[in-house]
Structure 1
Amino acid sequence: MRELVYYVAVSLDGYIAGPEGQFDAFPVEGDHMAAQIQRFPDAIPTVIADAMGIERTGTFDAVVMGWNTYAVGLPAGMTSPYQHLEQVVFSRTRSEADIPGDHPNLTVTDEDPVDVVRRLKSQPGKSIWLCGGGQMATQLAGEIDRLVLKRSPLLFGNGIPLFAPGAYQPSAFAEVSTTAFSSGVVISEYVRRPVSQNPN
């Protein structure tokens, strides 16, 4: 079965973006970048990957995200940021009619994210990337199979948390790798433990 992978940059104090969705503080230069591109080339926006000559031979063939995460690229004209992937954007108040111009390989839906992810998981394919944001991660917490956290040596002080507050429902993950880079970024990967291994 396909995995849902929450692959995201995060500050030391647990934020994935600033209060208005800002993410420009995260370092985009340094030795961690080559490792990210090699492991997750499909998580680079299509236009940027094409300009850099990056081959998309990686982990994902679908991406899910909330409207606020998706909308970050709209001012720059990125109406279909990952058009090499099947893109699903969740919104209760927006639709594809709110998107200017073309947006190939992208669907906006008000369906329950859990139902959509379970349907995607039941279909053949590669892993599914959970791009963000924190509210979406909380809704899909029970479906996340793998966490890949790019921790940057930054304190934000405020912003969008890695997971928005939700119900108290502890679930266990096992660390499978951690790599520290000279840039100060630390990439840690965790997989969900089987239910039988979760603490009571």
Structure 2
Amino acid sequence: MRELVYYVAVSLDGYIAAPDDTFSDFPMQGDHIDMILRDYTDTIPTLGLRATGLTPDLSRFDTVLMGWNTYRAGGVHPPDGPYGHLKQYVFSRKHSAVEPAVTSTGDDPVEIVRMLKSEKGSGIWLAGGGMLASALVGEIDRLILKVNPVLLGSGKRLFAEREYSPLRSRLVASASYESGVVVNEYVVDR
């Protein structure tokens, strides 16, 4: 069965974006970027792939899930959406204006993820945001957190507030980079 992987950059104090949904406080240069370009090519936006000449092999992910704010934070997207090489889903009950290659839905994200997990393919990437992650917390199989060496103080949290319900996980890999970024990979215990 396919895995739902929450792969996201996060500050030391648990924020995935500034209050205005930007990510500019996270380091955009350094040796951790080389790792992303090499190992997570599937997660590079369409415009980034075109600029670098890289071709994703879709072995890690073939589907991406985004909340509306995560989708919107990317600015103006090309006609095939922010990740034209992936199946793209945007979850929102208020907004639906997306590119034709993007599926916009107000349906229950848990039902969508369970349907996607039953299909053939590689991983399902949960790109954010915190509200969608909280809605899907029971479906997340793996977390890959790019922990950035910055304290934001406020902004968009890794997970939105939810009912108290501990979810245990095990650290299966950790790599630190000269840039100060540490990538931790956790498998959720079920």
Q: TM-score range by the shorter chain?
A: over 0.9
Q: Indicate if the aligned counterparts of 1:83 and 1:104 stay in contact, CA closer than 8 A.
A: no
For residue 140 of structure 2, what is the amino acid of its counterpart?
I
For the residue of structure 1 that corresponds to 2:143, the secondary structure is: strand
TM-score, normalised with respect to structure 2: 0.95
Q: Which residue of 1 aligns with 2:113?
A: 117
Which has the larger displacement, 3-12 or 29-38? 29-38
Residue 168 (str. 1) matches residue 141 (str. 2):
no
For residue 148 of structure 2, what is the amino acid of its counterpart?
S
Cα deviation digits, residues 108-148 of structure 1 (max 9, x gap):
01100000000000000000000000000000000000000
**Identity, % of aligned positions:** 51
**Counterparts in 2 of 1:22 and 1:181: CA distance versus 1, 3 Å:** same
TM-score, normalised with respect to structure 1: 0.91
Q: Indicate if the aligned counterparts of 1:85 and 1:105 stay in contact, CA closer than 8 A.
A: no
Which has the larger displacement, 147-156 or 47-56? 47-56
Q: What are the within-5 Å matches in structure 2 for residues 116-195 of structure 1?
A: 116-193=112-189, 195=190
Q: Indicate if the aligned counterparts of 1:62 and 1:87 stay in contact, CA closer than 8 A.
A: yes
- Structure with higher Rg: it is 1
For residue 164 of structure 1, what is the amino acid of its counterpart?
A
- In proportion to residue count, which structure has more helix? 1
Alignment partners' CA distance in 2, 1:4 and 1:38: 21
For the residue of structure 1 that corresponds to 2:71, the secondary structure is: helix
**Counterparts in 2 of 1:20 and 1:78: CA distance versus 1, 3 Å:** farther
Alignment partners' CA distance in 1, 2:46 and 2:33: 17
> 1:77: Cα distance to partner?
3.9
Q: Which residue of 2 aligns with 1:63?
A: 64
Alignment partners' CA distance in 2, 1:104 and 1:85: 13
**Counterparts in 2 of 1:65 and 1:77: CA distance versus 1, 3 Å:** closer
Q: Which residue of 1 aligns with 2:73?
A: 72
Moved over 6 A (4+): none
Alignment partners' CA distance in 2, 1:21 and 1:78: 20
The unaligned stretches of length 5 or more in structure 2 are none
The unaligned stretches of length 5 or more in structure 1 are 196-200
Aligned residues: 188
RMSD between aligned residues: 1.2
**Counterparts in 2 of 1:77 and 1:87: CA distance versus 1, 3 Å:** closer
Alignment partners' CA distance in 1, 2:140 and 2:156: 19
